[in-house]
Structure 1
Amino acid sequence: MKKITRFFWFCSGAHIDTLKKYPVEHNKYIGIGATIFFTALFAALSGGYAMYFVFSGNAFAVGFAILFGLLWGTAIFNMDRYIVSSINKEGTTNQQILQASPRILLAIMIGIVISRPLELKIFDKEIRQKLKTAYIKGQQSKIDTLQKTYQQKYTMEMGKVGELKKEKDSLEKDINRTRYQLNQEVFGDKTNQTSGVVGYGTYAKQKAAVLKEKEDRLKTVTENLRQMDGYLSARKDYEGLNSTKLFSETQLDSLAAVAGFSDRNWALGQLSYNQDGSRDLDTYLAISFIGWLFILFECLPVFVKLMSPRGPYDVAIAKLSEAGEHLAERDKQRDIAVTDEVYDHHLEADIDKRKRLITGQSEYDVSRHSYD
């Protein structure tokens, strides 16, 4: 327990040697340190999960996720530890809040970054279903676009096919009717279309000739229709209509499994809306609650430090800081004094040198004058 206590003290950013002297403050800084530690732990899990999706499918995805998770968790731990330890309890409440406001904003940003990947994991099943629906709609829209483009490009050919089909249907009906009348003519059935004479006579030959002509025309129309269908089928292959089909359930599962971070993040945002575009309040509140929970969890160490009253440890730290400032000021003044002393020494030496130069020059002038 002593090792755990010291570890959480270290996490809180407290000066351990000073904190040991004030047992009343021990539990407070254990709580602050534990909050910072678990926030960094969640950050490591969140960052590792996000990186795992970035490298999903790669053989080293797990290794990259673990490495980035450790780095990200360490960075968040260091920032949280600095934020909490740098809050000064000397000022008034308003001054402390003003001092902590940039740190709170930073904590909010960190909480948002931490919560998003974990939200993606929590709503993984709903995200997969939303992605499947989006993929089906996207594929259907693609097929509709290809179909519309195809119809616009080959309107004349498709119209010709329609005409040939109508003519084929009409010919088949006429051939059936003419064949029936020919049978009536041959067997001597008396109608308003037959002579009633049994045998293959003149009228029967005429009807047989008409039947042969219609059958020949039907063969021609059928062949033309077959050629046009082959041409349009080849055009469908060229335009991609035949190869573009709706995804099967297996394909949808595969696509949802390999979806990237951006697609999954989009799907998570879409979960808050119904099919008609209205807000799905229950899902929206659930997603928002998780996000705000992590933001609160990230801001909790700062809030705990702000809400806690000024204790003996804070007074001791303030005195240590003040003593350090006095020592620094004294060292500064000493350095200034030493600098001034050195400067004065150099200044005096420079003055003496100038005096000697001036004195030497005068003696030289006097000697030259005497010689002259």
Structure 2
Amino acid sequence: MDKINRFFWFCSGAHIPTLEKYSSEQNKYTGIGATIFFTGLFAALSGGYAMYFVFKGDDLAVVFAIIFGLLWGAAIFNMDRYIVSSINKSASISKQVLQATPRILLAIMIGIVISRPIELKIFDKEIKERLKVSYLNGQRSKIDTLNKAFQNKYQVEFGRLNQQKATRDSLEKGIKTDRQKLNFEIFGNKTTETSGVLGYGPFAKRKEAEIQQRTAELDSLKANINKAESFIDKRKEFDGLFTAKLYTDKQLDSLANLAGFADRNWALGQLKFNADGTSDNNTALAVTFIGLLFIFFECLPVFVKLMSARGPYDYVLADGDEVSIYESKKNKDFRFEVADNVHETRVDSETSKQKEIIKGKAYRDLERYDWDKE
């Protein structure tokens, strides 16, 4: 436990020799260090998972994911460690908040970045289903676009073909009616257009000749229609309309599994909406709260440092910094004072140019002098 505590103290950015003297402060910095460590760990997992999808299908995808995950986790860990350790507890509350504000904004951005890949993994099944729907709709739209473009390209041929089909339907309907009239005439059924005389008379012969003539016209028209349809089918095959088909379930599964990071990220955003375009509040809240959880977790070390009272460890660090600054300033002032005195004793018999040379030499001599030893 002692080694674990010391490791977490290191993660918190604390000065370990000083912290060891104050046991009341140790648990606080153990918690802060553990939070920073696990934030870096989650960042490593998130970055590795995102990189795995970038190189998915490559033989070295796992290697790239591990390397990038470790680098990304180390970068986030180092950044969090600096953010927490740089907050000055000796300053006033307002100044501490002012110092922490850009760090909190940066922590929010980091939380958003590391939470996204983890959200993709949590909603993996729902994302695949939404991708299948998207790919199927995209293929259907592609086929409709091809058909529409083909019809516009061969608009004249389609117009002539539709006109021929309308004429064919009209001829077939007329021939059917004439055959019924012929039957009425042969069997002696009295109507406004039949004689009512039983037998195969002159009127029946004339009607049958008309039917045969119209049947021949219909056969010729059907032949022309078949030629036109054959021409259009060949053009469809040439333009690729026959090869454009809707995806099968197996193809959709394969496409969803091979989807890249951008497609999956888009699908995650679309989970907030139903298929009909209405909002899916349940899924939207789930995605939002997971993102907020990681953002809060990333900001937690900063909040803990801000909320914690100023303890003896903070006082000792602040006093040590003030003493170091005071001693450094005192030594600097003393050296300049001695240098000025040396300069004054040597410049009486020298020219102005020689004075500057001597003064510079005096400063260099003072820099080589061991003041701490003296």
Give the TM-score normalised by structure 2.
0.83
- Aligned equivalent of 2:73: 73
Tell me the equivalent position of 1:221: 221
Q: Deviations over 1:191-224 (max 9, x none)?
A: 64798667xx998886776565445433322221
Q: How does 1:1-372 map to 2 (within 5 A)?
A: 1-172=1-172, 192=194, 210=210, 213-337=213-337, 340=340, 347=347, 350-351=350-351
2:353 and 2:166 map into 1 onto residues whose CA distance is 125
Worse-matched range after superposition: 203-212 or 9-18 = 203-212
Structure 1 range deviating more: 1-10 or 161-170: 161-170
Per the TM alignment, residue 329 of structure 1 is displaced from its structure 2 partner at its CA by 1.6
Amino acid at match of 1:310: R
Q: Alignment partner of 2:351: what SS?
A: helix
Which secondary structure state, in structure 1, belongs to the residue aligned with residue 285 of structure 2?
A: helix
Deviation at 1:306, TM superposition (A): 0.9
User: Normalising by structure 1, what TM-score?
Assistant: 0.83
Give the direction of change, closer, same or farther, for the CA distance of 1:118–1:215 in structure 2 (3 Å limit): same
Pair member with larger Rg:
1
> Equivalents in 2 of 1:349, 1:133: separation in Å?
96
Please list the CA deviations of residues 111-153 of structure 1 after superposition, one character each: whole Å capped at 9, or x if unmatched: 1111111111111111111112222222222222222223333
Letter in 1 for 2:263: D
Q: Which amino acid aligns with 1:259?
A: A
Structure 1 CA distance, aligned partners of 2:233 and 2:183? 40
Find the counterpart in structure 2 of residue 369 from structure 1: none
Q: Deviations over 1:219-247 (max 9, x none)?
A: 32222111100111123234433222222
Cα gap change, 1:193 to 1:53, in 2 (>3 Å) = farther
| Structure 1, 239-248 or 21-30: larger mean CA deviation | 239-248
Residues 193, 347 of structure 1: CA spacing in aligned structure 2 closer, same or farther, 3 A cutoff? farther
| Residue aligned with 1:310, SS | coil
- Contact 1:90 1:318 (8 Å CA) reproduced: yes
Give the drift of 1:347: 4.6
Number of aligned positions between the proteins: 351
Per-residue deviation, 1:57: 1.4
Give the fraction of aligned pairs with identical amino acids, expressed as a percent. Answer: 57
In structure 2, the residue corresponding to 1:242 is in which secondary structure?
coil
- Give the residue type in structure 2 aligned to 1:247: Y
- What CA distance in whole angstroms lies between the structure 2 residues aligned with 1:260 and 1:225? 48
C-alpha RMSD of the superposition:
3.1
Q: Which amino acid aligns with 1:250?
A: K
Shift of 1:328: 2.3
SS in 1 for 2:284: helix
2:353 and 2:313 map into 1 onto residues whose CA distance is: 59
User: Measured at CA, do residues 166 and 308 of structure 1 come closer, stay the same or move farther in structure 2, by a change above 3 Å?
Assistant: same
Letter in 2 for 1:79: M
- In the alignment, the residues of structure 1 paired with residue 69 and residue 222 of structure 2 have an alpha-carbon distance, to the nearest angstrom, of 69
Cα deviation digits, residues 140-178 of structure 1 (max 9, x gap): 222222222233332332222223223334545666777
Measure, in 2, the Cα distance between the counterparts of 1:138 and 1:152. Answer: 21
Q: 1:362 matched to which residue of 2?
A: none
